[in-house]
């Protein structure tokens, strides 16, 4: 046996022990840097294009002066979403949930469908539907990183980590924090135990690169966008408030889950595989709602600021109506075929609840109401509590005292969520048992 054959044998043995298929590679650090730069640049171009399209369509003088154009444009872009789904096989989240939208799941990674995905990402976000940009960004970056990983002949089990690194780079620019995306993608993909530490390392490296890239460009990230006067005291009263807000956040999250299930079942029952019809029907409903309530258009990350500036002008009932309608529109948008993300609409809905509570109980600091309600809701919705806490801290510039309250509220929501899931599982088991006994 020659020295070359010995070397090849050792290489094959090492590759086998690492779980890497023969002839396939594990990403090197320079390849992680590469995908971080590529996905950051892609995300920046995509956001720039979206901003240009949004300004051209929705912020020109004719549109702003003629309110009747709102339902016309909503229906036009809804039709385009439907056509992309039917003829270009564009991905959607009809059969996925909130967390799946952030993991790039719910669609088959067929690279020939990338043009449809790209087009439907713009059409969905321009339609006025209640979807956020983080979902399309996840989908598109998954395509880009997955394709590059294939060209680099990366091992399939390592390609996931490569894709997650790309997502970390893109998302840190959007949020404006070097740690957020690494924590989020790690929590959402906690089932991938093998190589978890390695994946986390790649996420941290790529996430830091993405954050620096966007910061140097001067991208207007979401960090510190909703900064209230911080809570500078640690009291028993505020501690009890945090627990109560955790319960409220859990209620909001459970309402979101119920809405997704109910709306999804209703839409499937009526339309089944008629994709264009289901999108257009949702577009009609969305058009009617946003014509009368334009504050509910889009994901809500822009509209939320005007409401926060003067919640008293809306009143408790209207704020709660905004929260309920936003959740229902989010569920309708997801289950009807629009491509979008859940974080910003969920943030909008939970913020409306917090503002309504602030009008009822003005003595409670608005910063406490906002941070605890938002963190508890998002944590339970996404199943990523640490990322939800960090997101809330970043966007609200929370201090150490608030971090303690946020953690308590989030823990409260998680306990309630776990209890609800356990009871639901027990009820399902009893129903299955009764059905089996009946059949016997």
* Same-domain pairing of 178 and 327: no
* Same-domain pairing of 141 and 192: yes
* Same-domain pairing of 307 and 168: no
* Same-domain pairing of 141 and 285: no
* Same-domain pairing of 280 and 308: yes
At 303, which CATH number?
Answer: 1.10.3080.10
Range of the domain at 333: 236-428
Q: Is residue 438 part of a domain?
A: no
Question: What does pTM read for this prediction?
Answer: 0.89
Q: Is residue 12 part of a domain?
A: no
Q: Is residue 433 part of a domain?
A: no
Q: Is residue 338 part of a domain?
A: yes
Number of domains the chain is built from:
2
Q: What is the pLDDT of residue 6?
A: 30
Q: Do residues 169 and 40 lie in contact, with contact meaning Cβ atoms separated by under 8 Å?
A: yes
Task: Pick the last residue of a domain from 183, 217, 251.
Answer: 217
* Same-domain pairing of 386 and 417: yes
* Same-domain pairing of 387 and 257: yes
Q: Is residue 348 part of a domain?
A: yes
* Same-domain pairing of 292 and 197: no
Q: Is residue 70 part of a domain?
A: yes
* Same-domain pairing of 195 and 242: no
Q: What is the pLDDT of residue 420?
A: 94
* Same-domain pairing of 374 and 252: yes
Task: Pick the last residue of a domain from 217, 252, 283.
Answer: 217
* Same-domain pairing of 145 and 270: no
Q: Is residue 2 part of a domain?
A: no
Q: What is the pLDDT of residue 103?
A: 53
Task: Pick the last residue of a domain from 217, 251, 277.
Answer: 217
Q: Is residue 224 part of a domain?
A: no
How high is the mean pLDDT in each 10-residue block of the chain (440 residues)? 35 34 73 96 96 94 93 97 95 72 56 94 96 92 93 87 92 90 78 70 94 92 86 94 98 96 94 93 97 94 92 97 98 95 94 97 96 96 93 92 96 96 85 64
* Same-domain pairing of 270 and 200: no
């Amino acid at each position: 046996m020659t020295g070359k054959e010995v070397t090849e044998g050792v290489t094959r043995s090492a590759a086998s022990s690492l779980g890497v298929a023969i002839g396939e590679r594990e990403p090197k650090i320079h390849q992680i840097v590469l995908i971080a730069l590529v996905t950051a640049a892609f995300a920046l171009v995509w956001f720039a294009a979206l901003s240009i399209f949004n300004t051209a369509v929705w912020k020109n003088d004719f549109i702003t002066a003629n309110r009747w154009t709102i339902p016309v444009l909503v229906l036009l872009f809804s039709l385009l979403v439907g056509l992309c789904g039917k003829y270009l096989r564009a991905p959607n989240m009809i059969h996925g949930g909130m967390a799946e939208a952030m993991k790039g799941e719910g669609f088959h990674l067929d690279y020939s469908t990338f043009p449809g995905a790209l087009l439907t990402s713009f059409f969905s976000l321009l339609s006025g539907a209640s979807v956020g940009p983080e979902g399309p960004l996840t989908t598109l970056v998954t395509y880009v990183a997955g394709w590059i990983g294939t060209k680099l002949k990366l091992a399939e089990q390592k390609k996931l980590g490569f894709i997650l690194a790309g997502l970390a780079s893109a998302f840190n620019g959007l949020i404006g924090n070097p740690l957020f995306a690494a924590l989020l993608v790690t929590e959402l993909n906690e089932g991938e135990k093998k190589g978890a530490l390695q994946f986390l390392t790649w996420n941290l490296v790529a996430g830091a690169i993405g954050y620096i890239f966007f910061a140097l460009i001067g991208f207007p990230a979401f960090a510190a966008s909703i900064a209230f006067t911080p809570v500078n005291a640690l009291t028993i009263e505020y501690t009890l408030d945090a627990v109560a807000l955790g319960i409220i956040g859990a209620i909001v999250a459970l309402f979101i889950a119920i809405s997704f299930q109910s709306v999804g079942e209703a839409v499937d029952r009526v339309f089944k595989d008629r994709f264009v019809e289901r999108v257009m029907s949702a577009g009609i409903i969305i058009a009617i709602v946003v014509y009368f309530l334009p504050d509910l258009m889009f994901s809500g990350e822009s509209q939320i600021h005007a409401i926060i500036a003067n919640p008293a002008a809306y009143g408790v009932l209207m704020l709660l109506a905004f929260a309920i309608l936003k959740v229902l529109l989010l569920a309708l948008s997801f289950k009807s075929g629009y491509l979008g993300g859940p974080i910003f609409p969920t943030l909008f809905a939970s913020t409306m609840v917090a503002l309504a509570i602030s009008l009822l109980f003005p003595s409670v600091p608005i910063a406490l109401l906002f941070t605890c309600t938002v963190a508890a809701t998002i944590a339970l919705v996404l199943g990523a509590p640490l990322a939800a806490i960090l997101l809330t801290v970043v966007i609200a510039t929370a201090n150490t005292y608030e971090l303690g309250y946020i953690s308590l509220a989030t823990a409260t929501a998680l306990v309630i969520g776990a209890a609800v899931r356990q009871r639901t599982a027990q009820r399902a088991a009893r129903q299955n048992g009764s059905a089996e006994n009946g059949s016997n």
